[in-house]
Amino acid sequence: MADTVQKVVDALVATMHGISTHSAADIANKLPASFVSNQLVTRADNISALNEDKGRFLPDGLMPAGGPMTSLATDKLVGNVKGSVDLSKTFTNDFAVQANKTEGFKTTTPPAGPSG
């Protein structure tokens, strides 16, 4: 199972790195034309949206420092969590760290520690 998880994370990290190193137009050029421009969205709007969203993807796939605490606070706020949570048991950056090593990428995100 860990091998399967690692392969999925390797692909996700490579994708996030690709997003960070290419323009929105470059990304749109790699997508199917019917996805980029159709009855719901124009090519220009799609590229504009990609430009807006690119910053949401961390190029190295690491959970940033404070990220787990922010996620937990949000879940508590909307009522999804009603007790204490040991954050050290809810996430790990180990797979993303290994993916970056495998792909030859340098990590730049200050990672979350065991307590988030």
pLDDT per residue rounded down to tens, the chain (116 residues): 899 999 999 999 999 999 999 999 999 999 999 999 999 999 999 999 999 998 888 899 999 999 999 999 999 999 999 999 999 898 899 999 999 999 999 999 999 988 88
DSSP H/E element including 101: helix 94-103
Is 113 part of a structural domain of the chain? no
Identify whether 114 is part of a domain. no
Are 60 and 104 in contact by the 8 Å Cβ rule? The answer is no
pLDDT of residue 107: 94
Please tell me the total count of domains within the chain.
Answer: 1
Query: Is 48 part of a structural domain of the chain?
Result: yes
For residue 27, tell me if it sits in a domain: yes
Q: Is 42 contained in some domain?
A: yes
Q: Give Cα 4 to chain centroid, integer Å.
A: 18
The answer to pTM > 0.95 is: no
Give the domain range for residue 25. 2-103
Closest CA to 76 of 109, 116, 114: 116
Q: Does residue 116 sit within a domain?
A: no
Does any domain span residue 57? yes
What pLDDT is attached to residue 78? 97
- Specify the pLDDT at position 94: 95
pLDDT at 68: 93
Give the position of tokens 């995100």. 109
Per-residue tokens: 95: 């797979």
